[in-house]
Structures are given as C-alpha cells and as structure tokens.
Amino acid sequence: MGRGHKLRQWMIRTGILGLLGILASCGQPEGAPGGATATPAPTAHPLAPTASLALTVSPSPAPIAPCATLPPGRLVFLRDGAVIRKDLPGGEERPRTPAEGYTRLSLSPDGTWILAWKGEAPAVLLKVEDATALPLPGGVRAAAWAPSGTTLAYADDQGLWILEPAAGPARLLRSWEKGTHLDPAAPVPLAWSPDGARLAFSYERLGSSPGQIVEQGLAWVDRAGTLRRVWAFPNSAQDQAWLAGWSGDGQWLLFWHGLHRSMSLAADGLELLAIPAAGDASPRRVADPVLPWPAAIAPQPGTPVVVVMAGGGRETWHHKSLIRVDLTTGEQRSLLPPDRVGLAPRWSPDGRRLAFVTAPDAGEAGDLAALAQRRIGILGPEEGPPRILPAPHGLRMEGPRWADSGAFVLSAGLQDDQAALWLLAADGSCGKLVGERLALPQMVAGAPASLGFYGRIDWDGVFDFRPGVRSSPP
C-alpha cells in the first residue's frame, strides 16, 4: 500500500474492519441497549487546558550508534510458539521450550520462573535454570505475580489461591461465596497492591435464573484471606466496575465503568474512575473516555499520580492523549501537543522518567504510514518537552519497558510483520539489537498481525524483562 491510502478504507475493502467490529462486539449480551444509560455522576475534576508543547526529536540515522555498555537483566520472549531466554548484556539465546504453541508469558519478579500459556490450555510454570515444569490446575481463569519474589496468585472456580513454586502445593487464600466468581470481562483480572499485601479483583455473583447477575463489584483480599468489598454500582446488570489496577502509593483502586457488559461500547473507551482502596468514599472521575487496555494506565511508583492514555474511539492512531492526573487533588494536565498521539505509558522504577509510544495524529480514517511513524518518547524529571528517541533503521517502535532505573528502555521494533527487540538509551545516544524474530500476537483473524486491534498490540504477553537478574554460576 502507498502512503496515500487510508487505513480505514483499506480495512473496509479487505473485510478486516468487519472482523474487528465482530471481535469488539463479542460478549455483548443479547438485547443489550445500544447506548449508555445515565448513572449517578462521580466526583469530577476539570481537565486543565492542553498546553502547546514542542518536542525534542532526535535524528534517526540508519543504523543507530552501538552502546558501549548495557544494563544486566533477564529477557524472555516468544518465537514461533517457543519460549526463549537470554541474559543481558552478553548472554546467548537459549530455548527454554520447543515450539509448542505458547502464546503468552510473564517472568517472575526475581527472574527464576516463567508463567506461560498456550491459548486456552492450562498455564504452566517453567523454571528458568532447569527443566522443571509445574502445570497449573485446569480451570484457572487468571494469574498474577506479586511485586517481588516468586509468589503467584491465581483464580479458579473454587476461589483465589497463592502459590510459591519452590515451596510446595498452592494454598487456598479465599473460597468464593455461593454463585460468585471472577468477572471474566474485567481487562485486568487480578492486581497486587504495590507492597504485595493485597490482591484486587472484579467479581460477579449470579442469581438463580440463568445468566442473572445480582451483584458485580470491586474487592480485594489480604494475605490472611480477609475480604474487603470496595464498590458496586446499584444496578449491576447495567453498570460494571472493571478493575484497572492500583495507584503507585497503594491508596487508590482504578476501574473502568462498564456499561451493559458490552464489549462493543467498551472498545471505543469507557469512563475511568478511582476510589480509595479502603472503600470509605465514592469514586471520582479520572478521565473519560479511556480504552479498557491495561497499557493505557501508568501509576507513578510511590505516589497518587497516574498517567492515562485518554481519548475516545478504538483507533489508536487518532485522538489519544497522555494526561497526568493527581488522584488526591484532581489536578490534571496534558503531556503532549494536540497534533500527536500517545500510547502505552510506563514509569521508570524510580518514578522519575516516563516512556511512551508517540506518533503524529493520523486522523480518524488513518494512514498505513502512520503506524510506521511510531517512536519511543521519554519525559524526564525536569518536565520539559518530551524527547523522541531515534528509531533503529527507521523501524516502528512500540511496547517500551524500562531495562534499569531510568537510563535504558527495551522496546519492540517492527517492519511489516517482523519484530525485534532493541535496547535504547533514554538520552537517544545509542541502541543495541538484543532479540530477533519475535512472535506477534494474532489479535484479529485474517488481519496482518502488525495491525493488532486498531493499531494496538499487547506486547506484555510477547516479552518480559527483569533488570539486574544474572544467571546462577554453574
């Protein structure tokens, strides 16, 4: 396709737009109303006017200058259905599994275990340093690593469980009450508080009639199994509280306001709310609309500040701004000029720098070349204009993850449907190729994998990295 072809027109001609629409509407209950119904408005805070911000754009030579030193850490990623591991800075690639159809993975915080999934099959825990494999029970709906160590939480039809892979069998943290289970529609099924003391989730309780939902809400449980219900809308069949995560200080829970359990409505963005985790106050509006995508929200470590990818419409190449929100004061401000989009923000571990994906706004119709213009942006502690990092060989850059406290960013570089991993210096001075031939998730059948879902690719399941982890001595 040439630069002048419009993305939406191309999708219509190829039938992909219809496929995307079908995917977005999956899960909408039969007979659900097509529009939103008025609900009591949470406390709102006005959005500060968008400032006119100039960006510092680094030149994009081809190739980029090599880095003399790289941060140590453990990298895992998917390639052709296999799990690959590599220890940086100088380790060799080592296949951890054969090509067995793995589709998602996540590395434990200490870098010793890999949680891997094969589509809808039961997940398995893979020890990095040897051939140990521990299958999780069938029926596990979701799993999440605690912020440190090797503690894994998972949910099944019986309840919530805690597992320490090297310490023996899992223990039941809390059984579900009759008719209750994890809400399968929540974009974030389980989320640990930053200190690892509490596990949050969205739940639903069914009535005696088939499909009847009598209660849906937001709750957390501590490590002793004590439950705290935080919020439920009065009409749970109409309004849902879908978990988004915790604030960086652990004082707030963020959640999307779902409507009629409609995935079609959700695909264009939902109201994002925040509520004190103690459950002793009503929710307040953070931004509206926000795509129900975990990578759309970045809590700043140790603070009540979050950066949110705000803006309506499922097209991620248009009308997506990054706004900084203080949950305590309600103060908000935009971080990008209005002619650019911002995606997938992520704070450095020390909370001083923000990495994100940015590109010129391509308009609602879009342009295929707009995705190729995506670059990694860095916002530093001085709060000046963001720096746009050079793209190695002009690649489309996405999925930033910090490789240390704030000097290097790991990101995916794409050309067509080929993806590789690059370490980029946050000051734009150098970069290094560290992984090739990544497996792109096929988010819509029949569509190019690089298109994702309206330009959104869920990179968190494709690769993972833990700074500072090194191989054990032989």
**How large is the average pLDDT for residues 261-290?**
95
> CA 106 to CA 152: how far, in whole Å?
11
pTM above 0.85, yes or no: yes
| CA–CA distances in Å: residue 240 to residues 39, 176, 257, 291 | 11, 19, 6, 15
Residue 324 above 50 pLDDT?
A: yes
Mean pLDDT across the chain, nearest whole number? 87
> CA 346 to CA 353: how far, in whole Å?
9
Instruction: Sketch the domain layout of the chain as residue ranges.
Output: 43-467
Write down the pLDDT at residue 447.
Answer: 82
Write down the pLDDT at residue 237.
Answer: 81
pLDDT band at 71 (very low <50, low <70, confident <90, very high): very high
CB neighbours (10 Å) of residue 241?
26
- pLDDT tens digits, one per residue of 347-395: 999 999 999 999 999 998 776 678 999 999 999 977 678 999 999 999 9
Q: What angle do CA 18, 20, 22 make, to 5 degrees?
A: 70
> CA 47 to CA 85: how far, in whole Å?
44
Does domain 43-467 bear CATH number 2.140.10.30?
Answer: yes
pLDDT band at 271 (very low <50, low <70, confident <90, very high): very high
Q: Measure CA 27 to chain center.
A: 20
pLDDT band at 472 (very low <50, low <70, confident <90, very high): low
- pLDDT tens digits, one per residue of 139-187: 898 999 999 999 999 999 999 999 999 999 999 999 999 999 999 999 9
For residue 31, which of 262, 269, 257 has the smallest C-alpha distance? 262
- pLDDT tens digits, one per residue of 23-63: 343 333 332 323 333 334 444 333 233 333 455 555 454 57
For residue 236, which of 266, 257, 253 has the smallest C-alpha distance? 257
Looking at 206-293, list the stretches that DSSP marks H as alpha helix, in order from N- to C-terminal side: 263-267
Rg value, the chain, Cα: 22
- Tokens representing 46 are 């006005």
Calculate what percentage of the chain has a pLDDT beyond 70: 86
Write down the pLDDT at residue 48.
Answer: 32
- Tokens representing 455 are 């330009």
Calculate what percentage of the chain has a pLDDT beyond 90: 73
- pLDDT tens digits, one per residue of 395-416: 999 999 999 999 999 999 999 8
Burial of 175 per CB tally in 10 Å (0-12, 13-18, 19+)? exposed
pLDDT band at 122 (very low <50, low <70, confident <90, very high): confident
Write down the pLDDT at residue 209.
Answer: 87
Residues 6+ apart with CB under 8 A from 34: none
For residue 341, which of 372, 368, 310 has the smallest C-alpha distance? 310
- pLDDT tens digits, one per residue of 229-266: 999 998 888 899 999 999 999 999 999 999 988 999 99
Q: Omega into 289 within 30° of 0, i.e. cis?
A: yes
For residue 433, which of 81, 99, 70 has the smallest C-alpha distance? 70
- pLDDT tens digits, one per residue of 421-441: 999 999 999 999 999 999 988
> CA 291 to CA 294: how far, in whole Å?
9
